[in-house]
Amino acid sequence: MTTLFSPFRLRDVTFRNRIFVSPMCMYSAEEGVPNDWHLVHLGSRAVGGAALVMAEATGVSPVGRISPGDTGIWNDAQATAFARITAFIASRGAVPGIQLAHAGRKASTHVPWEGGKPLAANEGAWTTLGPSAIPFDDGFPPPREMTAADLDAVVGAFVAATERAVRANFQVVEVHAAHGYLLHEFLSPLSNRRTDGFGGPLENRMRFPLRVAGAVREAFPAGRPVFVRISATDWTDGGWDLAQSIVFSRCLKELGVDLVDCSSGGNVANAKIPVAPGYQVPFAEAIRREAGIATAAVGMITEPRQAEELLGAGRADAIFMARAFLRDPYWPQRAARELGADVTWPIQYGRAKP
Ligand SMILES: Cc1cc2nc3c(=O)[nH]c(=O)nc-3n(C[C@H](O)[C@H](O)[C@H](O)COP(=O)(O)O)c2cc1C
């Protein structure tokens, strides 16, 4: 028996193995509505044997999108389109999840293959929001410092998005608090210079992200897990770091969050990140141990034995993979062969079973 292919249960949801498809923006939606591209992209990874297929960072409001091509879940047409996708994912034995997101000061940009730079006014730019009026990088406009009413509206948007995710039959929601987007911007002292109850000491910087996570937890059915993706460090002196991430994760656990998905970076342009195989696993390991909450490791996990070893050593409960899944939607099938595990092969593909 391998750890990678052992089932994993959170609340009433059982994952058939520990292999999760990491959320990946496809920048291919119109008006936030997912389409056939998203069905095939997500659906083929469910056919490939992943346990959880997490739909991309999906805007809880139009201004919360990174780009005009992002998926959204602020209206019923979007939720209805997602329902077709979740039905297919579930029919293949995988769990459908969705990452709920607000891009904060990093919103209103071109899609990456058009340069990814901020949109100009005549290209449909919108005013971005942030904890403080500090731009992300050169060329980015400063976001508008959020008022108390803005904070309430964003909490409301996350709750409404969660309710729509329920109607679209998502079994997992993940709050995006990583990669320099809105909730991470509140956590990090480098992007949050507020002088009210939402800035300053750690307790204050955590207040808004915890409010959002708590509201999402309350709005999602008790039998279904809520994840939070964090950036465990800004990789920058004076920024957000692992020690603060551990405190934050303990608070998330108290709110009933089920798993912390441990990524890093994204809030400081040009931070020096020591990217290497498994480089973020130590964060998943430390948070799992110190905060006593389930964690997922992500980042440069590409090989079945690497995944098996880190899970077997108790460094994380599950792995998310992104680029390896873009290269090979059937990665779990390959991993099962390599590790000698038995997994269900799609019946339609039986004649090709090795
Ligand atoms: C095309 C692409 C889109 C991504 N979009 C998202 C996203 O929507 N939300 C997110 O949290 N991370 C996103 N990421 C980051 C991945 O989820 C993952 O954390 C990162 O790529 C590291 O994992 P990997 O080495 O397995 O690719 C994206 C990565 C890629 C390659």
User: Tell me: the pLDDT tens digits for 157-194?
Assistant: 999 999 999 999 999 999 999 999 999 999 999 999 99
In this structure, the dihedral spanned by the alpha carbons of residues 166, 170, 172 and 176, taken in order and rounded to 10 degrees, is: -80
Which of 202, 200, 277, 306 has the alpha carbon at shortest distance from 246? 202
pLDDT value of position 17: 98
Mutate to test the pocket of ligand 1, among 19, 24, 295 (most ligand atoms within 8 A of CB): 24
Ligand 1, CB within 6 Å, residue ranges: 22-25, 56-57, 99, 176, 178-179, 229, 263, 298-301, 321-324
Residue 190, domain member (yes or no): yes
Distance CA 33, CA 273 (A): 34
Q: For ligand 1, atom 22, which residue shows the shortest CA distance? A: 299
With respect to residue 142, please indicate whether it lies within any of the assigned structural domains. Answer: yes
* Cα 246 to ligand 1 centre (Å): 22
Known catalytic residues are 181
Helix (H, G, I), strand (E, B) or coil at 38: helix
- Report which ligand 1 atom has the smallest distance to the Cα of 56: 8
> How many angstroms separate the CA atoms of 201 and 221, rounded?
33
pLDDT of residue 343: 86
Pocket test for ligand 1, best of 20, 21, 22, 71 (most atoms within 8 A of CB): 22
The reported pLDDT for the residue numbered 353 is 81
pTM of the model: 0.98
Assigned domain for 3 exists? no
Q: What range does the domain containing 63 cover?
A: 8-341
- The reply to whether 348 falls in a domain is no
The ligand 1 atom at the shortest distance from the C-alpha of residue 298 is: 23
State which ligand 1 atom lies nearest to the alpha carbon of 229: 11
Would you say residue 227 lies in a domain?
Answer: yes
Q: How far apart are CA 281 and CA 319, in angstroms?
A: 9
275: Cβ contacts below 8 Å, ≥ 6 apart: 299, 300
The tokens describing 354, both together, are: 């090795």
The crossing angle, in degrees rounded to 10, of helices 331-339 and 304-312 is 70
Q: Which residue ranges of the chain lie beneath pLDDT 50?
A: none
CB-CB contact of 232 with 262 (8 Å): yes
- 321 lies in a domain? yes
Residue 346 lies inside a defined structural domain of this protein: no
Residue 71's domain is classified under what CATH number?
Answer: 3.20.20.70
Residue having the nearest C-alpha atom to atom 6 of ligand 1: 24
Predicted local distance difference test score (pLDDT) of residue 4: 98
Atom of ligand 1 nearest to the CA of 324: 26
Number of domains in the chain: 1
Rounded CA separation 77/49 (Å): 29
Residue 334 lies in a domain: yes
- 29 Cβ neighbours under 8 A, 6+ residues apart: 35, 38, 69, 70, 71, 72
